[in-house]
Amino acid sequence: MPSSLPLRYGANPQQAPARVFMKSGADLPIAVLNGLPGYINLLDALNSWQLVRELKSATGLPAAASFKHVSPSGAAVATPLPDILKKIYFVDDLELSPLATAYARARGVDRMSSFGDWIALSDIVDVSTAKLISREVSDGVIAPAYESDALVILKKKKQGKYAVVEIDPAYESPALETRDIFGVTFEQHHHDRSVTRADFANIVTQNKDLPESAIRDMLIAWITLKYTQSNSVCYAVDGQVIGVGAGQQSRVHCVRLAGVKSDLWRLRQHPSVLNLPFRPDIKRPDRDNAIDQFLQPDVTEAEKANWKNVFTESPRQLTVEERRAWLDGMSDVVLGSDAFFPFRDSIDRAVRSGVKYVLQPGGSNRDEDVIAACDEYGMTMVFSGVRLFHH
C-alpha cells in the first residue's frame, strides 16, 4: 500500500492540491482497487469503517453502514429481514447473504439520505452484496477484502469509475491524533474506548426491564453515535438504526429530526404506501422521492398535480388520525443520545415514536426530571456515564 494518495481536490473543487498521507512515512492502511475516491469520500470511508468494525466486534454479526457527509444515514447488523421490509427496501427480488442483509437494512431505512452514499462493510464482500450495491446510486465502498467475482461486479459500476477501497483490518490508529484548523494543530488521544455491555449496567428508572434485543439495539445506537457528528441522537430497533439526528445545536431538535425519520420509516410500511399505484417505468430513486412527498402532511395542490407523472391515479393521503394510529403500532424502540438530556422535552417527543428504552450518559442538573418523565411512560433508561461527542 502507498504512503501517499493524491486527490483531485479537497472538500471543494477550489481546494487543490489535496492528498492523504501518513505523517510517519509508513504505508497507508488503505488501497484503492478501482476508481478515484475524493477527500470527502475518504473521510466517510475511515469514519464508517470504524463504525462497522466496532459493530461487528460488539455483536458478532456482519455490519454495514451508509454514510453521507461524515455521518451515518443508516447502520445495521445482519438480522433476518421480514417480508415487509424486503419490499420497502426494494430487495424482495434478491437472495441476500448476511452481509447483504446488513447493507439492505442500513441503506433501506432512509433511502433518500443514502442516495449517493459511501458504504462500509465489516466482512469480505461477496457476490450477493456486490449485486445489491451495483444497482444503487453510491459513490464507493470500503471493506477488508472482496471476493474476486464481487470485485468484477463492482468495477463495472459507474462506467468503471466506482470507488472500491480495501482496508487492512489489522490497522490501528496511533494513540495520539492531530488535526489542523486554520493553521493551528489540535492534538488529542484517539477515541479508542470501546462500547461494551458494561455501559448498560446503571438502570436509573423504576422499570428495570432490559431484554437481550434492547441490549443489542443499544449497542448499535451507542456505536453509531460514536461516529456521528454531534450533537446527535439515534433511534434503533430490530438490529438497525431507523433515524439519525446529527449535527444539531439543540438536543431536542436532534430528537425531533431522528423521530421524524423514524416515523417515516414506520409509515412506509403502511398498506397505503405499499400499494401506491406507481407507473411501471418509475425508477427506485423517483419512487423514494414520491413516497417521501406522499407522506408529508402539507403537500400543496401544485405538488399533487405532478403526481400524474409518477402514479397511474392520484392516491389518497393518510389522514392525521390514520397516521397516528399506524405510528402507535411502533414499539420497543431504543433512543440513544451522545450526551445528557438537559430537559424532559426529548423524552416527551420520543414516546411518540415508540421509544421504550433510553440510553444516555447522564450528568444533567435536571436528571431527576428526565428520569421522572421516563417513569411516567414506563420506559427503561440507562445512564452509561460516557459522553460520545464526535467532531
pLDDT of 196 > 90? The answer is: no
Burial class (CB in 10 A: 0-12, 13-18, 19+), 390: middle
pTM (predicted TM-score):
0.94
| Amino acid identity for residue 21 in this structure | F
Residue 201 amino acid letter = A
Kindly indicate the confidence band of residue 23, based on its pLDDT and cuts at 50, 70 and 90. confident
| Catalytic (active site) residue 390 | no
Which of the four pLDDT bands, split at 50, 70 and 90, describes residue 2? confident
Over the stretch 338-365, which tens digit does the pLDDT of each residue have?
999 999 999 999 999 999 999 999 999 9
Tell me how far apart the alpha carbons of residues 150 and 128 are, in angstroms, rounded to a whole number: 8
User: Which among 56, 231, 261, 270 is annotated as catalytic?
Assistant: 231
Q: Is residue 231 among the annotated active site residues? A: yes
What percentage of the chain has pLDDT greater than the value 90?
92
Q: State residue 155's pLDDT score.
A: 97
SS3 119: strand
| Domains defined along the chain, listed by start | 4-171 (3.40.140.20), 192-267+327-383 (3.40.140.20), 276-317 (1.10.287)
Evaluate if residue 78 carries a pLDDT over 90: yes
Out of 56, 68, 261, 270, the active site residue is 68
Helical spans, DSSP H, in the chain: 39-59, 83-88, 98-108, 127-134, 148-155, 212-226, 251-267, 271-274, 284-294, 301-305, 320-327, 345-350, 367-377
Q: Give kind and range of the element (H or E) at residue 76.
A: strand 71-77
Give catalytic status of residue 41 as yes or no.
no
Chain centroid, CA 223 distance in Å: 11
For 250-280, write each residue's pLDDT tens digit. Answer: 999 999 999 999 999 999 999 999 999 999 9
Contact 347, 353 (CB under 8 A): no
Question: Residue 98: is it exposed, middle or buried by C-beta count within 10 angstroms (0-12/13-18/19+)?
Answer: middle
Q: What is the model's pLDDT at position 271?
A: 96
Q: What is the pLDDT of residue 24?
A: 84
Please identify which residue in the block is written with the cell numbers 410500511: 269
For residues 117-126, average pLDDT: 98
Return all residues near 324 (Cβ < 8 A) that are at least 6 apart.
none
E-only strand ranges, 146-231: 163-167, 176-181, 184-189
Note if 69 is an active site residue.
Answer: yes
The residue assigned the cell 460488539 is: 58
